[in-house]
Homo-oligomer: A and B are copies of this chain.
């Protein structure tokens, strides 16, 4: 008799984004045909790939793959090594960080990497998450049996929630409760807020003192403008002993789903057996990688290489600036309407407080029905997101301006 992993029974029926889609569809079906175009400022990803360097690399890779006599896959192994060297040079050495090539693992998305690291960990760890935070981190721990039960207020009984809200001026500090593993997503999704070098030092100190593992999700690192805000956790001394870092380009280059992502797992990061034996997480990651990962798809390899050419880096920077300008337009408008706003300065996400007494979902519906603009209800990210909504800078400039003009 096949037995179910009963932790899966705790998963919700629908994910936040499915719920939003349903509500938008109902609106589209019921509203008068004369209404204006619905503008999506809830997009979580760049939907347009970088032009020229990257799109050409993809086009050429498809042509190569369609040639029966092509030897395109012959040197994949050496090209993959070279790509890792480019990553190290461009994203780390340039910021004074020294890492070895065997400490970088390529993968297809930060989302999958976060799910895999959750699988690596014992069921018995106490997990800390920001409130609000990206829901996938929580669901991974639900599936792995670490979340406990969902309580009446929407929190999970066994997770330690670390407020990322007005109470701490959006600068979460290490919790008083013991945690074994902590997710730091910076810039945070959904709040768009960051921590400075000085603030992050406190987290590293905490992690080193308590042998806590930090899962640092730096998927939005390219949006950081402020010099006092590190792009990589390894800019902080000691981080190579307690943190792994997840990186992805789905938020910038626009090839979501056929994505280039990587995870940094320094050799000095240790996890522990029940009897206290220390194990290098890098060693375990290598074993997992060799059993579960077949290498980057050829197209992804080619587009990732294009991303690291000088021209690719230039295009990446331009695209980042484009989305950040959108975020600025949103931020400025919302502030002018008297809303409290954070984010949008080091992140494409703008996090706005709804007017007194208006819930996230109520604000979402008002915006949809009155202005035909879609945002994301903050409560969907965690109970701590209630009373907020998220806007993103991933629409076109034209649509962003139009949506803001409607308010």
A residues engaging B (CB < 8 A)? 1-6, 8-9, 11-15, 18, 21, 47-51, 55, 58-59, 62-63, 65-70, 72-73, 77, 111, 115, 119-125, 135-136, 139, 143, 180-181, 210-213, 254-258, 271-274, 279, 281, 284, 286-288, 290-292, 294-300, 396
Min Cβ gap A257→B in Å is 3
Contact A11 B65 (CB under 8 A): no
Tally of this chain's copies: 2
Contact B59 A2 (CB under 8 A): no
Taking CB atoms, residues of chain B closer than 8 Å to A292 are 111, 115, 136, 139
Q: A48-B66, A65-B49, A68-B396 are in contact. Are A136 and B291 (CB under 8 A)?
A: yes
Of B3, B48, B66, B272, the contact of A274 (CB 8 Å cutoff) = B3
Nearest neighbor of A399 in chain B, beta-carbon distance? B69
Besides A4-B120, A6-B274, A258-B300, 10 more A-B contacts (Cβ < 8 Å) are A1-B212, A2-B180, A3-B180, A5-B123, A15-B291, A62-B62, A136-B292, A257-B297, A258-B299, A299-B299
Q: List 23 A-B contacts (CB under 8 A).
A: A2-B125, A2-B181, A3-B121, A4-B271, A4-B279, A6-B274, A8-B284, A9-B279, A11-B287, A11-B288, A12-B290, A13-B286, A48-B67, A49-B62, A50-B66, A51-B68, A55-B62, A59-B59, A115-B292, A119-B119, A257-B296, A257-B297, A258-B297
Contact A5 B121 (CB under 8 A): yes
Taking CB atoms, residues of chain B closer than 8 Å to A121 are 2-5
Nearest neighbor of A47 in chain B, beta-carbon distance? B73
CA distance A181 to B2 in the complex (A): 6
Taking CB atoms, residues of chain B closer than 8 Å to A48 are 65-68, 70
Contact A291 B180 (CB under 8 A): no
Of B12, B69, B257, the contact of A295 (CB 8 Å cutoff) = B257
Q: A143-B119, A294-B256 are in contact. Are A271 and B49 (CB under 8 A)?
A: no
Contact A2 B211 (CB under 8 A): yes
Contact B2 A212 (CB under 8 A): yes
